Chains A and B, each alone.
Chain A
Amino acid sequence: MLLSLMIFIPLLGMIAVLLLPRESEELIKRVTLIPLALAVYLFISYDRSTAGTQYVVNAPWIDAFNIQYHIGIDGLSVTLLLLTALLGPICVIASWRNIEKGIKAYMALFLLLETGMLGFFAALDLFLFYVFFELTLLPMYFLIGIWGGPRREYAAIKFFLYTLFGSVLMLVAMIAVYLNSGDPGARTFDIPTLIALASTEGHALNNLNFQIWVFLGFFIGFAVKVPIFPFHTWLPDAHVEAPTAISVILAGILLKMGTYGLVRVNMAMFPLGLDHFTNGIGFWGNSLALLGFINIVYGSFCALAQTDFKKLVAYSSIGHMGFVILGLAARNDTGITGAILQMFNHGVISAMLFLLVGVLYDRAHHREINGFGGLGTRMPVYTGITTLAFMASLGLPGLSGFVGEALSLLGAYDEFKWLTILSTIGIVVGAAYFLWTLQRVFLGNLNPKYEDLPEINGREILTLVPLAILTILLGVWPNLAIDMFRESVTNLVNVLQAI
């Protein structure tokens, strides 16, 4: 019930927003605080000692096809639910003065998007999972297309087409799984049941060839979302054109939907298929780790070449998501723990980075890195927070970014020695572009054009401080987050190693 409430309160909020007059701004602003409050309650009351799903609701929905409204959370979902609920209000605050036209429509779409994201992370029925996954598309398309930058139409439709392309392949795989799950009448979309069936000896789902194909179907769907090379080209466009708050959601949550799906479906449900792509034998056995490596190195080098601040952050996201893929490919405790932690940390850090880019863009109305210089003297507080975010992102020990990446690499080192060693190039390049950007924007002589640039204001600081605190806290006390999903990871690794 609590979980359903959390998922559907934004939807009710959307209806309320559409019906209420524009003057009731304060009320609109507060809708996203309810899921956050519930998330805090979940964080406190979540039983960390078990891998089982909690807060389960299981009600029949479409009987003819055995589709259920089945939701519940385990360690992984609760982590991402917390992240989603946290970024919700932050994005609302960040949009408040920035969005001028159609604030009602903007908020309505944003709340619909939030319902889609929260529902996706809680769904335990494959059909429901897909419905929530797709529910995020249309709001995102309009949010980028209406409130975006100059090339917003192109970016919006590119995002939409790429993701839809991925998800139709996923749909085929999903139907194939459903059809193979039993005789007519006994088929199911229930994720826990399917996971159990897929590792039952002799069941149609427990077939290597079948698992390879459906693995690929789901993988492409999620790979577009993550995004994994070569499906990444929509991301820089979408990020550059999207308004600040939407970039935050895009990098913070939507990318995690891809990696979350990989864990929830590809790894847990198709261990044989996963084994085929990650067992380290031959080309296919290394392919997932290879994709992680390409993402890390390619993303970092692309970021190094950017002169647009936001595009740089976008490409750095591609690089950092590579660590998640690499950690998952390792299939061991350390690697998966690192990957999940990295999902959460990247959500927090990239949210900070996009908010910071937004702050600068709102003042200077451009994002050209070489067009600034010496801002450190003009905006000391802003410079301080940016430095913190940069350091966290480039993996400075003591800040949260380091822990996730280090664990992912450690886990991967056991399985893919050379790819892991080569992947560290990405960290070096990451340090290079962040430090170089720091130098170009904040050090040197102040560009006379920006002598009157106002310092970061209270509202903007309000959006950044919670994230900054989390970054430091999780840097020195990573177990705060790891405890949430430790049991779930152990459980998953046991399943994977039983192959």
Chain B
Amino acid sequence: MQPLSNIDSLLHFSPEILLVIFAAAVIILDLVVKNRESVAVAHLALVGCLCTLAAVLFIHFSFGNEEPVALFLGMIQLDVFATFFKVLLLLATAATILFSLRSEELDAKLKGEYYALLLAITLGMFLMASSTNLLMIFIALETVSLTSYILAGFLTHSPRSSEAAFKYITYGAVASGTMLFGLSLLFGMAGTGDLTQIGGRLTELLASGEVSSLTVLIAITFVLAGVGYKIASVPFHMWSPDVYEGAPIPITAFLSVASKSAGFALFIRFFYTGFGSTGLMQFVDWPFMLAIVSALTMTVGNLAALPQQNVKRLLAYSSIAHGGYLLMGGVLLTSEGVGAILFYLLVYLFMNLGAFYVVVLVANEMGSETIDGYRGLGSRAPLVALAMVVFLASLTGLPPLAGFFGKWLLFTAVLEQGYYWLALVGLLNSVVSLYYYARIFKVMYFEDAEEETSHVSFSTGTFALLSTFVIPTIFIGFLNIFYTFSNISVSVLPMQ
């Protein structure tokens, strides 16, 4: 497979180019439109997402279907795996734009920048999912990080939001610095930045004793710091509750779904494609290290979620815990495990975004982000409360909802490799998580609202958007096609 030259790559790169064009167009349109209440900017961004989606699918069906194509002299790769993530990320971005349209906390003056940044961050995530070169990986990661710092601090009137952005940037700078150091070690040892070659090169060097396995372990751990920060795994998770709580709700939803998905895309690319060889594993036992990180991440996330009073913060910890579940699939990097991660990310997209959408609605109507704000929601807004039950039950992993099927795939992958203790930790964590999700059920249904129990009505558009999350959350697990979809995406990933 010969990498395409820069000029030849451009056509394959058209989805990314479209994103850039639309990001620029959004800014220009914002300058032209005088009416601050206009939704034209958001709609343009939405159209941008849809055009990019069409381009992604077009490219997929014309080129990327058969075998991976290396673009820009091997800097990035176009394959089914990348396409899977691109579709996932575009859905998340489109949903975030729709949330933002309905959210009442955003400053109308800064709309242009906001939507342009959302498109820019999507571009960065596209690159995260498709980079196959250490340098490109770092650039993609930084594009995403820098944009998300700004987005997290977008509520200029809220000190919490600024605090979130500041924490985010401090943590992020340290994490990416550490990662960069790890990458430079890898580059120095292997003499190449190409992920498809680096694993084999390192195995040779380790076998001949030219580099010590400790150096490789340190380099990989450092890289893991950067990736772990993106997917909010313990011990690099500390930023996420504060950021999730302080950031505007649509951005929190976006970070918890899209940022995590892109992080996992990078994680899989890096470890599965780059370091998945058994030859390398006999020198450095990082599967065990990952198992520990995974167990700690879900346990810390779930235990910390138990006492939370703020629903955004609760969902932040729950999202940390889900990062832990997802990591289980990556422990031994079998194709079943990676397939399970992809399937779970797809399910997670719908159930988690859905839950955050309910948070947006409740924040708009009741003006509260705390659990108490949900009091009596079951009788005040029955359909919204019902949708919340579906999302949270799916996050808990109760059948027959999609979350159960996702977890079941992950646990099967882990058990298949004989990691019984990890599966047990994961399952007991599910029981723990039920407790805090059930706290929301409890206030919604078992307790009556204190003051007036007036019925809250929502627009048809709201229900339509809500049902686009509810329906997949109920049905994805039943349908064969999604399992096939995630399996095909994995099967094209070359394993060293």
Contact = CB atoms under 8 A, between A and B. Distances in A.
- Say whether A associates with B: yes
A141 B399 contact: no
Tell me what chain A mostly uses at the interface: helix, strand, loop, or mixed: helix
A131 B416 contact: no
A161 B442 contact: no
Contacts of B430: 164, 168
Given A172-B411, A175-B408, A178-B412, A153 B442 contact: yes
B472 interface: no
Nearest to B432: A161
B203 to A, nearest CB: 26
Contacts of B378: 146
A145 B434 contact: no
A145 B400 contact: no
Given A145-B446, A171-B411, A172-B427, A131 B438 contact: no
Interface residues of A, number: 33
B427 A168 contact: yes
Contacts of B428: 165, 168
Contacts of A145: 441-442, 445-446
B318 to A, nearest CB: 16
B480 A63 contact: yes
A179 B445 contact: no
Nearest to A61: B478
A169 interface: yes
A130 interface: yes
B435 interface: yes
A227 B441 CA distance: 25
Contacts of B423: 172, 175
Interface in B410-451: 411-412, 415-416, 420, 423-424, 427-428, 430-431, 434-435, 438, 441-442, 445-446
A93 interface: no
A135 B399 contact: yes
Given A131-B399, A145-B441, A157-B438, A175 B415 contact: yes
Contacts of A62: 478, 480, 483
Given A142-B441, A161-B435, A172-B420, A64 B412 contact: no
B484 interface: yes
Nearest to A148: B446
Contacts of A368: none
Contacts, number: 80
A161 B437 CA distance: 12
A138 B431 contact: no
B427 A171 contact: yes
Contacts of B412: 65, 175, 178-179
Nearest to A174: B408
Contacts of A165: 428, 431
Interface string A147-187: 00000110011001100110011011001101100000000
Given A134-B398, A138-B398, A161-B435, A172 B424 contact: yes
Contacts of A141: 438, 441
Contacts of B438: 141, 157, 160
A133 to B, nearest CB: 8
Interface in A50-70: 61-65
Contacts of B400: 131, 134-135
Interface string B320-352: 000000000000000000000000000000000
Given A135-B400, A157-B435, A175-B411, A152 B446 contact: yes
A137 interface: yes
A65 B416 CA distance: 13
B220 interface: no
Interface in A92-143: 102, 105, 130-131, 134-135, 137-138, 141-142
Interface string A252-287: 000000000000000000000000000000000000
Output the residue of B379, B404, B442 with the most chain A CB within 10 A. Answer: B442
Contacts of A138: 389, 393, 398
A157 B442 CA distance: 9
Nearest to A179: B416
B446 A169 contact: no
B487 interface: yes
Contact of B445 (A64, A146, A171, A175): A146
B185 to A, nearest CB: 37
A184 B404 CA distance: 22
B480 A168 contact: no
A164 B442 CA distance: 17
A119 to B, nearest CB: 10
B78 to A, nearest CB: 26
Contact of B415 (A61, A153, A160, A176): A176
Contacts of A105: 382
A160 B434 contact: yes
A169 B431 CA distance: 11
B392 to A, nearest CB: 10
Nearest to A18: B386
Contacts of B382: 105
Output the residue of B399, B411, B431, B487 with the most chain A CB within 10 A. Answer: B399
Nearest to A133: B399
A64 B480 contact: yes
Nearest to B382: A105
A157 B382 CA distance: 21
Nearest to B483: A64
A178 to B, nearest CB: 7
Interface string B462-496: 00000000000000001010011001000000000
A170 B484 CA distance: 27
A145 B382 CA distance: 16
B487 A64 contact: yes
B427 A137 contact: no
Nearest to A144: B446
Nearest to A152: B446
A134 B487 CA distance: 27
Contacts of A160: 434, 438
B358 to A, nearest CB: 17
A137 B393 CA distance: 11
5 contacts: A62-B478, A145-B445, A168-B428, A178-B412, A179-B416
Given A131-B404, A135-B400, A164-B434, 4 more contacts: A61-B478, A157-B438, A168-B431, A171-B411
Those 6 A-B pairs whose CB atoms lie nearest each other, nearest first:
A168-B427, A64-B483, A131-B399, A134-B399, A145-B446, A165-B431
Interface of B: 378-379, 382, 389, 393, 398-400, 404, 408, 411-412, 415-416, 420, 423-424, 427-428, 430-431, 434-435, 438, 441-442, 445-446, 478, 480, 483-484, 487
